Structures are given as structure tokens and as C-alpha cells.
Amino acid sequence: MGAFITSLGLMVVAFAAMEPLTAATHRWVMHGVGERVHRSHHRVRHGRWEANDAYPVMFAAVVCVGLWVGFNQPGWAGLVPVGVGVTLYGLAYALVHDVYIHGRVGVFGGHRVAHLDRLAAAHRVHHLYNGAPYGMLLPIVPAELRERARRTDRDPLEGASPGRRGERVAAVPRT
Ligand SMILES: [Zn+2]
Ligand SMILES: [Zn+2]
């Protein structure tokens, strides 16, 4: 039972730590040294994939190595619950960012979820100005940018999700 609680704790901590870690990676790697690849995500996508999709593949590869070590190397078993927490975060990120906000799979159709629309409104600010917020599940939007975004009808998320045109502008709350 003690080992289970420890594993559960590691998993939760890993999940929570991923938000600031992801925001920092987005800020200093994807909008830093690795900007060339991430740029594709800030342009209108033609076709199903974008160069930026290489990022989640690379992150998943790192998690796979971590899980392999956790399963196979004595003394490193803690990496397994950490890997599970990181994977769950990645799953949540993909569902919120790629499936819901950018409408890449089309499963949501016109169905709106109020809380996810708030996250979409925050992410719209990132796409409008290529700056903050860099986080996804707990985005920190500077008040000045939030205000600036409120005054513009330009919606960079719309072009990125064909099939949801029209409804997007009305659906994203300007708060
Ligand atoms: Zn995006
Ligand atoms: Zn970005």
C-alpha cells in the first residue's frame, strides 16, 4: 500500500510539474533555438501534419526511454509512475490543444465546453502575438495582452481549423 501511495504521489507531481516545464520549453526552446520547426504551428496548416508535430514525437521518445529504464533498471522503478504522469499530461495537452482548440480531429464538431473555451481564448492570445501565455492547462495571460486581444476580431485559430469557421469568433469569450 505504501508503495502504491508513493507511486500515485510521483505520478501526480510529475503531471503537475509538466505545466511549468512545458511552458518553459515552449518559451525558450520552441520560441527560441527550435523556432524554425515550431513556426509551422503559427502559420495556416496545409494538409494534415505540420513540421511542429516533430516536437511531441521527440517528447514521447524521451518518455519511452524513461519508461524503459524504469521497467528494466533496478533502483529506477520510480521512473514508471513519473512516465505515466508525463504521458497523462501529454494526453491532456493533445486533447485540449490539438483536438479541441485547433480542431484537428474534428470529433468535437460544434460542441462547446465553457472551460475549454477559456483555455482557447488564452491560446488565441499566444497565436495573436507570438508571446505569453506559453502554458496550456494553466495559461498565465498578461492583462495588457488580454485587453489588446479583446479589442481585435482577428482569430488566428480559425484558419488552423477548417470546418469550424464562423462559429469560432462567436464562441471564444472575449474575457
Ligand atoms: Zn496552438
Ligand atoms: Zn508557440
Q: How far is the CA of 5 from the centre of ligand 1 (A)?
A: 35
Please count the structural domains in the chain: 1
Q: Which ligand is closest to the CA of 119, given by its number?
A: 1
Q: What is the pLDDT of residue 144?
A: 96
Provide the whole-model pTM. 0.88
Q: How far is the CA of 115 from the centre of ligand 1 (A)?
A: 17
DSSP string across the chain: -HHHHHHHHHHHHHHHHHHHHHHHHIIIIIIIITHHHHGGGGS---SS--GGGHHHHHHHHHHHHHHHHHHHSTT-TTHHHHHHHHHHHHHHHIIIIIIIIS-SS--STT---HHHHHHHHHHHHHHHHS-S---SSS----HHHHHHHHT----HHHHTSTT-TTHHHHHS---
- Domain of residue 26 covers 2-171
Digit-by-digit pLDDT tens for the chain (175 residues) are 789 999 999 999 999 999 999 999 999 999 999 999 999 999 988 888 999 999 999 999 999 999 999 999 999 999 999 999 999 999 999 999 999 999 998 887 778 999 999 999 999 999 999 999 999 999 999 999 999 999 999 998 875 444 443 344 434 444 4
Q: Which ligand is closest to the CA of 156, given by its number?
A: 1
Q: How far is the CA of 99 from the centre of ligand 2 (A)?
A: 16
Q: Which ligand is closest to the CA of 133, given by its number?
A: 2
Q: How far is the CA of 147 from the centre of ligand 2 (A)?
A: 20
Q: How far is the CA of 75 from the centre of ligand 2 (A)?
A: 37
